[in-house]
Amino acid sequence: MAAGCLTAAMGLVLLGGGVAAAAGGGGAPPAVDAGTVYVPTVAPDRVTLTPTADPSTGQSFTWRTSTAVTTPRVQYTATRTAPIAEGDTTTVDAQQSQTTASNFGYSMQHHTATVEGLEAGTTYVYRVGDGETWSEWYEFTTASDEVGGFSFIVQGDTQNDNKAYASRALRAATEARPYARMTVHVGDLIDTDNADNEWGEWHLAAGFANATGNQIAAAGNHEYYPSNSLSTHWRTQFEFPLNGPDDARMAETVYFTDYQGVRFITLDTNLAFSEPGLTTQTAWLESVLEDNPNQWTVVNFHHPLFSVTSGRDNATIRNAWLPILEEHDVDLVVQGHDHAYGRGNLVANEAGMGEGEHEGPVYLVSVAGPKMYVPDAPETSNWTTSGANQRVVARDVQLFQTVDVLEGEMHVESRTVDGALLDSFTIEKDADGEKVVSDAEAWAAGPGSTRDGLAAAPVDPTDPTDPTDPTDPTDPTDPTDPTDPTDPTDPTDPTTPVDPGTNPTTPTTPGTGAPQNATVGASTDRVAAGGEVRLTARGFDAGEQVRIELHSDPVRLATVAADAQGSVVATVTIPRDTTPGAHTLVLTGLSSGAVAETPLIVTAAASPAGLADTGAQIAGAIGAGAVLLLAGGGALVARSRRRIATEA
């Protein structure tokens, strides 16, 4: 029995889908032989769009087949409503086909074709194949000469269990902006550099989105793990612009592309922690920022300048790149690696600004996959120690970001995999380049919401028929309407909170005198350190950010968004190192100031820290029959656990 269990355990580990590699736990399907799932055929798969240096006139395509294909080609034409006839199309042979061996022994080909001379601002349909066996018809749209008028998506690390879990974030983003022109990935797309099954899951998780919008990706440390060399899949399946530094190691990992007034710059932090990789990229970054004709700039790399979790501090790249990003007033810097969420700015850029506003770049760290880490406490975070304000932080949430670009305005929203708003801000910039970044409410839509583009329109206060206008006297939700029974400011409404100055029995937040006008209920009043508590609260402003803390230290657990009714439902994890005893969970509305709290008794952790504390969990329950498996395979599992705990 022991031998059989050990064999099963080794099979799971080697296939990358079981005890050692399952990051989400519980919901993984039964293990199958991964070497049989992604064997290529003559039918094209993993079809991917990547941008050229000028996406208004050029487009690159990559796809995979078996080695039996000898005439790879792409066929395209301007979009039309009638079925596409062979004579209506242009056919271009692939310029490159590369054969590589997979980690399962089978061979495969990746094909690359780049088409030039396209019309700007035009939608095309295309397919890839060999002249007999074709993919389905896909669409893409070339960049136009206008500034803005498009949406793009940002995805943090997917890395683990792409099919089972990361697919939720990738597909939810497509649902939110189905006509986004591109997706920016911050690295660690997969966990093991050359594992073909992991790359297969990554492509599968995205659905058709990889083939209909340009993909921009930074290489993470797991694209170099464990070989210490860039994944053999990277340059075969992505055709990124060759406009980076004159260094072969940085080809297609350091590059830029311009799309409708936005310069997208990608850097490779894996090569920046030593020389000459740091100096070379630093000089190149400064040059492409100095010679930048675009209104907007987005910079993308893996290891963050200001880390969110695990006591990390990437001082080498922060010291080199932060001054340049600030000097050139980059708009948005997106990063990953930390498996939590953080968004903020330099404190110095808040001088003279209004509440919730700042100048300068926005630094954003996010995560899309199921692997989660615990954020550092504010007082020890290198945001705080490096002069930055971490405005929003969250943990244990899979996220995606939508970015809507208009002329003079860039709006960013971070949402959870179920579509709930976590964070939202807008960058406004005038013709002289003067800008202000401010917290903002969610937009009803963006350019990528519809095929032809739909920008979120401001409310017209003069339109009496606008049901979203809060000043409309015919609107039953009008806060100025004295007959509205749902109006919290209506003195005739029996649910209106009473001024604490006239009602001495109204509870107040200790030490503030402010009305405690929100309520919260908890799934339990006693939990072991490392356990979870589900909170249900109400009484906050619609859509406002609500901070959840464990007092009395305090320890920030999460920042979540209230729904349209001002309610919050969230599950928080009590840190495993919490001191046993009496504590309080405190929820604070960041705009309304509303506070709700509930007592909580924390008991000692039930068991030593394990995979769950690094964001990985064992898939499924371990019953009595598995005791021998753990005994016989202990060294194997322990080794995998150490890898997960030390490799971000």
The domain spans of the chain are 2-37+609-646, 45-449, 519-603
pLDDT > 70 in the chain, percent: 79
Bridge partner residues of 185 (DSSP): 155, 217
pLDDT reading at 99 higher than 90: yes
C-alpha 549/C-alpha 585 separation (Å) is 6
- Given the DSSP bridges, would you call strands 362-365 and 357-358 parallel, antiparallel or unpaired? unpaired
137 contacts 126 by C-beta, under 8 angstroms: yes
User: What are the DSSP calls for 208-228, one per residue?
Assistant: THHHHSEEEE---GGGGTTTS
Domain 519-603 bears CATH identifier 2.60.40.1930 = yes
Average the pLDDT over 167-196 and give the result: 97
C-alpha 203/C-alpha 137 separation (Å) is 17
88-123: b (≥16 Cβ within 10 Å) or e: eeeeeebeebeebebbbeeebbbbbbbbeebeeeee
Tokens coding 561: 């968004």
Question: Do the domains 519-603 and 45-449 match in fold?
Answer: no
Q: Which of 173-182, 192-201, 309-318, 630-639 has the lowest mean pLDDT?
A: 630-639
Q: Is pTM beyond 0.85 here?
A: no
pLDDT of residue 493: 42
Average the pLDDT over 175-198 and give the result: 97
pLDDT reading at 309 higher than 60: yes
Determine if residue 373 is left, alpha or beta; phi over 0 gives left, psi from -120 to 50 gives alpha, anything else beta.
Answer: beta
pLDDT of residue 531: 87
pLDDT reading at 458 higher than 70: no
pLDDT of residue 560: 84
pLDDT of residue 30: 67
pLDDT reading at 272 higher than 80: yes
Determine if residue 211 is left, alpha or beta; phi over 0 gives left, psi from -120 to 50 gives alpha, anything else beta.
Answer: alpha
Average the pLDDT over 191-220 and give the result: 97
C-alpha 273/C-alpha 255 separation (Å) is 18
pLDDT reading at 86 higher than 90: no
Question: Looking at per-residue confidence, does 521 or 489 come out higher?
Answer: 521
Question: Looking at per-residue confidence, does 553 or 511 come out higher?
Answer: 553
pLDDT reading at 76 higher than 50: yes
Tokens coding 425: 């801000």
45-449: CATH number: 3.60.21.10
Average pLDDT along the chain:
83
Question: Looking at per-residue confidence, does 1 or 187 come out higher?
Answer: 187
pLDDT (tens digit, 9 = 90+) per residue, 432-454? 889 999 999 999 999 999 998 87
Q: Which of 158-172, 205-219, 514-528, 538-552 has the lowest mean pLDDT?
A: 514-528
Closest CA to 418 of 536, 570, 200: 570
